[in-house]
Amino acid sequence: MKIKAEFIKQFIKDMIISFVYWTLALSPYMIFVVKTTLNQYIAWVGMQAILVPPLGAIYSIIARRLKSKK
């Protein structure tokens, strides 16, 4: 049970970190290159909030497992 609790905590941390990282990294591109309006930007952040956290956390799990096998 302890392993599952630690896994869930790490998964949630990875979700938060991936959302913050990708939103901060891509915001200048969306604002200055794509020239989104405020409504478009808010919709984009909402889309980020749905897609990025689980995908980022899954990627982190895969990367850790590959790293531990080396």
Using only C-alpha atoms, what is the Rg of the chain?
Answer: 15
Stretch 8-21: mean pLDDT, rounded? 95
What's the distance, CA 17 to chain centroid?
Answer: 6
Close Cβ partners of 11 (under 8 Å, ≥ 6 residues apart): 57, 61
- The widest CA-to-CA distance across the chain, in whole angstroms, is 48
Residues in the chain: 70
Residue 18: Cβ within 10 Å count: 20
Could you state, in order of their start, the residue ranges of all structural domains in the chain? 2-69
Q: What's the pLDDT at 70? A: 67
What global pTM score does this model have?
A: 0.83
Q: Which token pair is 15?
A: 């979700």
Q: What is the pLDDT of residues 45-67, one digit of tens each?
A: 999 999 999 999 999 999 998 98
